[in-house]
Structure 1
């Protein structure tokens, strides 16, 4: 079976990584490479940055681009992703969404669209990160008393949302394991005289700089010991390979909203 895939944001860092992965996969074919109307890459061969011809030119017409595609992989911005999903629904194209920064209303809209097409959406497509989420659930249940929890994340200087979607997902997993609501217990910044730490809170710290692909650490700080669960990404290739696993998972689904835990059989 050959999976015909369209890539959104094709001239960006993640878009290029996805294109490289698709071109290298024996069971995948690049059906379309999409980008913004003002992109200087429009009209170029999508594989030019690799020094190879893919036979697919980068274009801005989403409607035309999806004509030959069975799947769309999108790691762009929330507004653009939602517009792409509406186009996917109109054509029965399945979607893999790695975009982060969605509002609750936007997430609800995606869930509504998933009634008509199959979607995998995750704040992080890395297989390793999703294994870490399972480890965090286990750790939080065991360390539910006497441990302060802090989540530290670092990304490159170009990332526009904070904390990262992955850090927030980690917080959600930990909070749920402890029977808490992250919206009520999260602390996103500290400055000045903050007073003694509230033990029921989950703290977040954000670092932005350089070309850091993505580092996440969840710290459980107790009396006399610290437990740190860390994931570090050295390449975006891990997100691309996870996305292709999500595509293969969707091949057997027609509708529904899924996460990477479903893709990996850990749900």
Structure 2
């Protein structure tokens, strides 16, 4: 008998990622949105999904995993509810203060928590490959080149820094270069250069839906996991 769908609470449902999560979840049989939470609510039910305001969190039905793509100031309430309900917690909310990172660490002692700046499954695999390559190619230069659309302000990107951290865990120190042009969704190249040879590991994102798909995959895999702070790659390679 197949497992029942994972019951999801989507927090930040009116945002771009929240809308993508609801749209993509509707086409899957392994997850079911049981509540969509936004700062304000118009219709009470949209496409069969009950809608709740952030002030109504304690009235949401039972859920297995909360997926949070909101704002830093909204993290505390949904994290506290997930702990109270014993539910898993997946968050793509960025710009968190150290106190909020500490709150995630504390929550991980009681529930399964997976925060990430990038939910691309391909990037999760790339991080693993970069760490392995860095560990094998001692003394090689490591350079990370990232490209994004003209409106992206931070540089290097959070993903580039995460790849650099993977390289560092393998024993390499990365150098960074950034490009802002056109409507590029996201491209990351990690180059290892030795004497007379070079390796390039490349990931290109052509569709922002990949991040929503990755978050849904993470939520499905997180259900039933013991308490702890997880990385997306932990679930892929488990």
Question: So what's the TM-score if we normalise by structure 1?
Answer: 0.76
1:13 matched to 2:12: no
Give SS of 2:192's match.
strand
Q: Once superposed, what is the RMSD of the aligned Cα atoms?
A: 2.6
Is the alpha carbon distance of 1:100 and 1:230 closer, same or farther for their aligned partners in structure 2, counting shifts above 3 Å? farther
Q: Which runs of 5+ in 2 are unaligned?
A: none
C-alpha separation between the residues in 1 aligned to 2:233 and 2:136? 21
What number of residue pairs does the alignment pair up?
A: 235
1:141-165: CA deviation from partner (whole Å, max 9, x where unpaired):
23321x3322222334555654333
1:1-38: CA deviation from partner (whole Å, max 9, x where unpaired):
1221111222222211111121111132211212234x
1:248 matched to 2:232: no
Is the alpha carbon distance of 1:224 and 1:248 closer, same or farther for their aligned partners in structure 2, counting shifts above 3 Å? same
Is the alpha carbon distance of 1:101 and 1:217 closer, same or farther for their aligned partners in structure 2, counting shifts above 3 Å? farther
Q: Which runs of 5+ in 1 are unaligned?
A: 48-52, 181-200
Matched residue, 1:171:
164
C-alpha separation between the residues in 2 aligned to 1:76 and 1:207? 27
The aligned runs of 1:5-154 (5 Å cut-off) are 5-37=8-40, 42-44=41-43, 53-57=47-51, 59-61=53-55, 63-64=57-58, 66-145=60-139, 147-154=140-147
Is the alpha carbon distance of 1:18 and 1:46 closer, same or farther for their aligned partners in structure 2, counting shifts above 3 Å? farther
- Specify which structure has the higher proportion of strand: 2
Is the alpha carbon distance of 1:137 and 1:119 closer, same or farther for their aligned partners in structure 2, counting shifts above 3 Å? same
CA contact (8 A) 2:52 2:60 kept: no
